[in-house]
Structure 1
Amino acid sequence: MKLSVVIPAYNEEESIPHTLRTLYQTLAKHGIPHEICVTNDNSKDNTAGVLEALKAEIPTLVYYTNPGPNGFGYAVRYGLERFTGDCVAVFMADMSDDPEDLVRYYNKMLETDTDAVFGSRWIKGGKVIDYPEVKKYINRVANLIVRVLMGIKYNDTTNAFKLYKRETIEGVKPFLSPHFNLTIELPLKAIVRGYTYEVVPNSWTNRKYGESKLKIKEMGSRYFFILMYCLIEKFFARGDFNKKSTAKPAKAVSR
């Protein structure tokens, strides 16, 4: 099963060399057939030049430049429309995600034939390193709201780092979110539409270079919009968008 890794990148010239080298070395070490798909989101620094140089070093690297509209969600969507693998993960350019966790996601999908694999930093085995306290508080409150309103047990919906089968990605289209609210749109639509998923612990490490692109004050209403959309679909869409009847009931299993 070929794995695609979609990485949105905006002004990441300092972070992305280490991220891509470590990711490639890890996937190659484990013998995982893959491609690394970077969307340069019309960066203002030398991200494009760095990616072009890395192509000679990393044979599985492909990159695109998104001319616009720009934004995290648009950049991820650009990659999700172009990947060629049987499954696809969203991975951060700043190395906040651990490539070894991605290997665990991939193996879990192979073992269980599940439609998606979600990580959680907040279950046994998960961890966060240098996580800002204010951001952590907002994260836990936001995830609690999602859990209560959607009636789910999964506790890390807002983390973008997840793995989906190609069929799952096709099944949650059309995409609505232009910004970071895409991080909850993808898993919530998958859950509401009856796709199966497994949950495994993962880690998160704060970036070493640059600054986070997430502006919390700007995102509240956008997250709320997507949450309300998924809630309305869950109770009123009458299964019109659900996975075909051959699907197993959606489940979540924590390890």
Structure 2
Amino acid sequence: MVVDDNSPDGTATRVRTLQAEFHDSLFLLERKGKQGLGTAYIHGFKWALEKDYEFIFEMDADFSHNPNDLIRLYNACKRDEADVAIGSRYITGVNVVNWPMNRVLMSWLASRYVRFVTGMDIEDTTAGYVCYKREVLEAIDLDKIQFVGYAFQIEMKFKAYLLKYKIVEVPVIFTDRTRGTSKMSGAIISEAVFGVIKMKLKSLFNRIKV
């Protein structure tokens, strides 16, 4: 399933072309305007749950996430009985290609910050390459996810953490795309910095319903 928010890079057109060859296994959901990363994933999650998939993955469609690693995330859940398997850039050092040093430092420090605030023992808290068992997504009230930017990744992991699901990290190499531009913005950074604190405080006072 590819969720496309009217992307100017021709993603939807390319997917429609490939659907002629993979009509039983490649699906496209087109949305008008930029509705945010988080809502795109939630649309995809709900679609997968309706189709009764047992293992549900999220990943970037620009090959920043290597499709060959899908089987490793799957095995972590299916064979090793994890509930959530994260394709981690930082579990074995820093495994990032094509990022400038300031972006690497920002990402790594963000994960340090999230670990400190939330208490989650996860090295790559902002990772977007994840395999969920369906029961995890069924247990989380997806309609109450608050974040729409990259902090969405943090919130999903924190929800699973609060529910005591087994979360593991699988080392992967993240290779950033050489075309296109980053969607990072001041608003997204602010959402992550202040939203994480608010999220943690709500959990401490039992005001968060997962």
Bigger relative contact order (CA 8 A; separation at least 6): 2
In 2, Cα distance between equivalents of 1:193 and 1:151: 14
Which runs of no fewer than 5 residues in structure 1 stay unpaired?
Answer: 1-36, 242-255
Q: 1:185 touches 1:226 (CA, 8 Å); kept in 2?
A: no
Normalised TM-score (structure 2): 0.87
**Selected match of 1:176 from 146, 165, 179:** 146
**What amino acid maps onto 2:163 in structure 1?**
R
* Secondary structure, counterpart of 1:106 in structure 2: helix
* Secondary structure, counterpart of 1:118 in structure 2: strand
**Selected match of 1:154 from 110, 114, 122:** 122
Are 1:71 and 2:36 counterparts? yes
Moved over 6 A (4+): none
Q: 2:98 touches 2:178 (CA, 8 Å); kept in 1?
A: no
- Report percent identity of matched pairs: 30
Q: 2:6 touches 2:34 (CA, 8 Å); kept in 1?
A: no
Q: 1:120 touches 1:126 (CA, 8 Å); kept in 2?
A: no
**Selected match of 2:203 from 234, 239, 243:** 234
Q: Report Cα offsets for 1:132-158 as digits up to 9, x if no partner.
A: 211111112111111111123211001
In 2, Cα distance between equivalents of 1:124 and 1:237: 34
Superposed displacement of residue 49, structure 1: 1.9
Normalised TM-score (structure 1): 0.73
In 2, Cα distance between equivalents of 1:239 and 1:70: 24
**Selected match of 1:208 from 178, 182, 197:** 178
Which runs of no fewer than 5 residues in structure 2 stay unpaired?
Answer: none
Which range moved further: 182-191 or 41-50? 41-50
Superposed displacement of residue 110, structure 1: 0.8
TM-align CA RMSD: 2.1
The structure whose residues are more often helix, as a share, is 2
Q: 1:72 touches 1:178 (CA, 8 Å); kept in 2?
A: yes
* Secondary structure, counterpart of 2:47 in structure 1: coil
Superposed displacement of residue 234, structure 1: 3.2
- The 5 A counterparts of 1:77-96 are 77-83=42-48, 84=51, 85-96=53-64
In 2, Cα distance between equivalents of 1:239 and 1:43: 34
Superposed displacement of residue 43, structure 1: 2.4
Give 1:106's aligned residue. Answer: 74
Q: Report Cα offsets for 1:100-126 as digits up to 9, x if no partner.
A: 222101011111222111122112286
Are 1:48 and 2:18 counterparts? no
| Cα separation, partners in 2 of 1:238 and 1:213, compared to 1, 3 Å | closer
Which range moved further: 83-92 or 170-179? 170-179
